[in-house]
Structure 1
């Protein structure tokens, strides 16, 4: 009976992870399908391996986790937060399939994953800190001038500006920029002047 409770809890957990956290925040539909497919696939395979009589189910399940965790989709580039959701979906699948001494331990670990992802991926926690590859239409080698240009362009404080390429022929500079957005000042709304309609 506890096995079915654990499986049900895992399905609820991955649904919360994908539909409650990831999709409302990042709106990438193709990865929703990938997260569910990877999670349920790992859940099914790890569950079958855990009940095998060879006694290698747990080891093979962990090996499966290690192999799948380093898979990167080559057809599209994944951001690091999307990789983190892949890790979370894989971990939930294993926790839902592998039987431990206490079912509450697995349930607690599932809840821990959801709580951590809820907090660390929240926009208000580190939303002001940004990273971007910037291409300037000038060849800039002086660091002080480069930082000044980037801060003017970004409208914030530059913490790191790593030169990736300087093209002296085409006059361009490619920079990996880590910067912080400055809170924009609210400007008072300008009242439009009232014009009197000419009398007929």
Structure 2
């Protein structure tokens, strides 16, 4: 490939990964993954460009990828959205590194990938749909009763639930809930990437003698495993010593 033909896909990739990373951080706010996405994209771009140019033999290139594949990476658990951003960062690097086909093909595919990520992860797409992992301090084996219990306690519209753990010894139920919030609550809670979301005051903590509104809820985990701010962590249904 000529230098101009190589420079165009690389420039498109750098612009695209910058836009994708900016979208990710604005919507999900994890600085450590920004570094991971940028490093992965640039590394894949560099390795693929070297292999495609013929400067490195195919056997040596496959050997390098094999060595990298046996390294076990340890990290915190991430959400499915963050896995999608990992895949996009990898694909952008591959597209720009190979750079084969007509001149317009690589920029067009890169623009398509970025447009899909912008639209698919937009806060206005299915804004009422939620998924949370709930831990209840009572063992409820009846699915209909469990659904009614969740809808009554939390005031949500449960669409689907999966009981992950049912412990009669410890009187515990762990359930994966997919639900929809009310339109009013959606309007009151701006999206994470909305500028006004940063100005919202923190919810008040429960005072001494107050009973949280969600009784029977031991723990509430969001998709990334962290408890939401202001969510009660201990049940008040039963008497405590």
C-alpha change, 1:158 and 1:31, in structure 2 (3 Å) is same
Task: Give aligned pairs, total.
Answer: 179
Q: Structure 1 residue 56: deviation in Å?
A: 4.3
Deviation at 1:72, TM superposition (A): 8.6
Once residues 109 and 8 of structure 2 are traced to their aligned partners in structure 1, the CA distance between those partners, rounded to angstroms, is: 15
Who is 2:12 aligned against?
9
Larger radius of gyration: 1
Deviation at 1:143, TM superposition (A): 1.4
Partner in structure 2 of residue 145 of structure 1: 145
- The separation in 2 between residues aligned to 1:154 and 1:81, in whole angstroms, is 25
What value does the CA root-mean-square deviation take over the aligned residues? Answer: 2.5
| 1:38 matched residue in structure 2 | 40
Aligned ranges 1:112-151 → 2 under 5 Å: 112-151=112-151
Give 5+ residue unaligned stretches, structure 2. 189-241
The match for 2:29 is: 27
Structure 1 residue ranges (4+ consecutive) displaced by more than 6 angstroms after TM superposition: none
Alignment correspondent of 2:51: 49
Q: In the aligned structure 1, how far is the partner of 2:134 from the partner of 2:73?
A: 25
**Does the 8 Å contact 1:72/1:78 carry over to 2?**
no
SS at match of 1:134: strand
Q: TM-score, normalised by structure 2?
A: 0.68
- Residue 139 of structure 1 contacts residue 171 of structure 1 at CA under 8 Å; is this kept in 2? yes
TM-score (ref. length: structure 1): 0.81
Q: What secondary structure does 1:22 align onto?
A: helix
Tell me, which stretches of 5 or more residues in structure 1 are unaligned?
A: 188-200
